[in-house]
Every structure is written in structure tokens, then in C-alpha cells.
Amino acid sequence: MANSMGTRRAAIYCRISQDRGGAGLGVTRQEEDCRALSARKGWDVLTVHTDNDVSAYSGAPRPAWQELLEEVRSGYVDAVVCWHVDRLTRSPRELEDVIDLADQYGVELATVSGEIDLATPTGRMIARMLGAAARHEAEHKAERQKRQRRQAAEAGKIAGGGKRPYGYEDDRVTVRESEAAVIREGARRVLANEGLSSICRDWQARGIVSPAGKPWKPSGLRRLLASARISGRREHTPRGSWEHTRPLLGEIVADAVWPSIISHEDSDRLRAILSDSERRKRVEGSERRSYLLSGILHCAKPHTDGKPCGHSMHGRPRSGVPRYVCPNVPGTDSCAGTATNAERTDDHVRDMVLAALESPVFVQRLRAPDDEENKLYEEIRRDEEELEELARDVGERRITRKEWMIVRQPVEERLERNRAQLSKVSRAAVLLDFVGSFEDMQARWKKMNNSQRRAIVTACVRRIDVNPANPRRRWDPERFVFDWLA
């Protein structure tokens, strides 16, 4: 090998101490990184040596390691590439052997995790520090495990440990049809803008329980429906990237080996809807109350300065009669001066909404063009991919953590905006299953609960202002001013 100056004949050495999957993926990844490093340095890779499943402390023989030493001694190679010094040697003793070899044969050592020049005292000191310090060992072990998790995620492998995922059998791959049907129902209802608590209440009544055998709770249902798993995709959230609670959405890194229960598109929409904090307030916040229009009605009584009060009205009975009132909230300038009979108001709003929905033009204007929805999906996907790439860059030290924080911020902001927009666009989807003749709609309305009805109302109306009562009229529909969404 009479190459030009600087070009070396390299041997790659890979080792992983615990390769539970047995597929040698960790080693594959080490080799990839080492090959890339060799290419950057302009070295020719002649051989690759791999020791697998040999624990750092077992003292078991490492056949590939012996081969490597042989090649160095015979002068066949004059450079060794490994992922980290601790991949190469298992003990300070072995490291001294390597340093001796470097002395005797002029072998150069390169590691993916950083430059170490064994020909210089400084390089040796660094190598010894790296090789000997138990703290470093522990740190890098954790790093390897993180890497393995990520690799497993990318390969769409099954995450080990933990409880059986809902919708799948104990093998975590076979779909359990009875539960898959429940997941599909939940997805359909959330996409139709029904509140999570409403769905949980219904499931409780029907005896549908969580994997732990307990009644479904909104938080658990949110996690289930927002997980990429049920769409047959693998999701990865880097450990240490959050403080208290695992974020709802991780990065989607690969198609998984298990089959999907819902489509990618529905999963993307659910993830957008369920991570939208505005939607949470709108749909979930008021749904515990049995009042249909709480928070949708706004008090329009003028303050002394002539400006309308604007406070949202809430359901509250007086002498057993349900009413919506402008509440007296200390610390705000709510006027507490407007009230309206809840039952009559609900009926009036229902009639107005159903009448509006009878008009095909109105419905068409509510429905965003499919183009917009598709465009949003596409942008969200692109940004998710970019975040994933950035995370990989920082994981492999191509960029620093600080740089990562800076570049990912605008991407995350755009992602959040687009998810919110997608959730708004999807809101009108509820109407697809609902719109029909006035009588049809009325019949369906009758069977709905208030959460489902709210979904219909909020798909049509931004808000409804309520003017003060006219003392001469007992029931005055003119008091209600609709702010239609189309």
C-alpha cells in the first residue's frame, strides 16, 4: 500500500458489551461511524473486526481483538479506528498495550468520539484518563444505551419492558381486534371534536377499561391516541430532553414492525388536535359542565364607558332554573349584569346552527379546501423530519447543543403554528358526518351529548354575544349576535 503521505491502512474495531437484540445493530452503527471518520481522514479501511456480546468485565476472550493485534504487529495495518477508547480496551492494562503498540509500530488511533493522538504525551494522558476513569465509563455506557434506544427506534423494533400496549397482544406486534376497534372509535370521535372526558365517560358506562383494567382517564386516552405506535410508526423521545413529564409527541423516526390500527393521516391529525392547547381549553375545559354554551356565550352589556363587558358567560341555576350568567369574578371587570334562560338559549342556538348548516354554501365555506389541509400535513412532516435530523446532528456531535437550541427554535415555533392551524381546519370535519336535512340533523342532535353538540356549534360559530335583556320582552332572540366562522 504505497499511498501518499497521511494515508493510512486502517482497521476498524467494533465492540458492544450488551447487544440484547442479538442483531448486531449497535455494532453496525459503530462501523458506519468509523467508516465515515476514516473517509474524512482519507484512510483506507482494510479490515473490520467485531467482538460482540463480550462484557467489559467478564475477561472472556475477544477473538476479533486478537486478530486486530495480529494485524498491527504484522504491519498489515497502521491505523485503528474505533468509536470510543472504551470500545477498544476493557481495562487500563489493555490501554497500556495499545499505547505500547502505538510506540512500537507507529500506529495511529482515531475515535469517533474525539481525537486521540497516542504518539504525544497529551494524547496518551487523554487516552489514559478516558480508559481509566470510572465516571467516564459510566457516562459513555449511558450514551451507548441512548444510542441503542434510538437505533431500535429507527429500525422500528419493539420497545422492551413496560406493560402490553393497548391494542396489541403480549408479543406487542399482533393486533388485538377488540381493543383496536376501541382505538378506532376513540380516534373517530376525537377527530369529530368530541371531548376526551366525554368519550371516557361513555366507555366507563360501557365497561371499556384501560390495559391496567381501570376506567379510561382523559390523560391516558390522550397519550394513547396521540401515540404514533397505533399508526404502526415508531416514535422516539430522547431521554434527558424533558424534565418532569414525557412530552406528548416524540419524533416519528420509522415505520415499525407492528401493524397499524389507524392510518398515518389520522394519526397526524390526532397528534395535531391533541397537542393543541387552545383546543384543550375550548373542548375539554367547559365540558365537565352540563351547559352546552358555557364559554361560547359572551356578555355584551356595556360598561359605563360604553365598551361591552365581553366576559364569557357560564351556566348556573337560580331557584332551580338553569341559566347562563355573566359571572361575578373578583379581579376581572365582568359586570355580572347579564343572564339568560339556558334551555331556551340552547334551543335557539341549535335552531340557528342547524338552519345555517342546511345551506350547502355555508358548509362549503366552513370546509377548508383539501389543498390547505394537505399543505399543512406536508409542512408538519417536513419540520418533524428536520427536528429529527437536528437531534441526530447533536447526538453525533456534528453541531453543539447550543447551536441545536438556536436552530430548532424557529422550526418548533412553525410546527406549533401549523399544528394549531391543522386542528382548526380539522374542526370542520365533524360536520361531514352530521350535515343533512334539517329534520335529520335535529334527530341526530337529540341523541348527542353536550360535548358532541359543542363540537357542532364550535365548528360553525366563533362566539355568540348576548345583549342585555329587553325588560318589555320575556324572550328576545334578537339579543343573540352570532359570530359565524363562515
Binding site for Zn ion (CB under 5 A): 299, 301, 309, 311, 326, 335
Which CA distances in Å does 137 have to 56, 86, 134, 226, 382?
10, 7, 5, 37, 37
Residue 469 CB, nearest distance to Zn ion (Å)?
12
Residue 468 CB, nearest distance to Zn ion (Å)?
9
Residue 294 CB, nearest distance to Zn ion (Å)?
14
Residue 215 CB, nearest distance to Zn ion (Å)?
38
Strand runs labelled E in 239-307: 251-255, 297-299
Residue 344 CB, nearest distance to Zn ion (Å)?
19
Residues 6+ apart with CB under 8 A from 298: 310, 311, 312, 313, 463, 464, 465, 466
Nearest Cα neighbor of 282 from 484, 462, 418, 428 is 462
Phi–psi pair at 164, nearest 5 degrees = -60, 130
Count CB-CB contacts under 10 A for residue 181.
Answer: 13
Contact status, residue 335 vs residue 311, Cβ threshold 8 Å: yes
Closer residue to Zn ion (CB): 234 or 311: 311
Closer residue to Zn ion (CB): 293 or 425: 293
Closer residue to Zn ion (CB): 15 or 311: 311
Residue 311 CB, nearest distance to Zn ion (Å)?
5
Using CA atoms, how far apart are residues 184 and 206, in angstroms rounded to an integer? 16
3-state secondary structure of 317: strand
Residue for grid cell 380516534: 187
Residue 335 CB, nearest distance to Zn ion (Å)?
3
Contact status, residue 15 vs residue 51, Cβ threshold 8 Å: yes
Q: What cell does 58 get?
A: 467478564
Residues 6+ apart with CB under 8 A from 424: none
CA torsion sign for 355, 357, 358, 363 is: positive
Closer residue to Zn ion (CB): 299 or 430: 299
3-state secondary structure of 200: helix
Residue 475 CB, nearest distance to Zn ion (Å)?
20
Contact status, residue 277 vs residue 284, Cβ threshold 8 Å: no
How is the chain split among helix, strand and coil, in percent rounded to 5?
50, 15, 35
Residue 308 CB, nearest distance to Zn ion (Å)?
8
Residue for grid cell 341549535: 350
Closer residue to Zn ion (CB): 129 or 481: 481
Closer residue to Zn ion (CB): 15 or 323: 323
Closer residue to Zn ion (CB): 325 or 428: 325
Closer residue to Zn ion (CB): 47 or 467: 467
Closer residue to Zn ion (CB): 293 or 435: 293
Using CA atoms, how far apart are residues 85 and 96, in angstroms rounded to an integer? 12
Closer residue to Zn ion (CB): 327 or 395: 327
Using CA atoms, how far apart are residues 144 and 151, in angstroms rounded to an integer? 10
Closer residue to Zn ion (CB): 8 or 311: 311
Amino acid at residue number 224: L
Residue 338 CB, nearest distance to Zn ion (Å)?
5
Residue 300 CB, nearest distance to Zn ion (Å)?
8
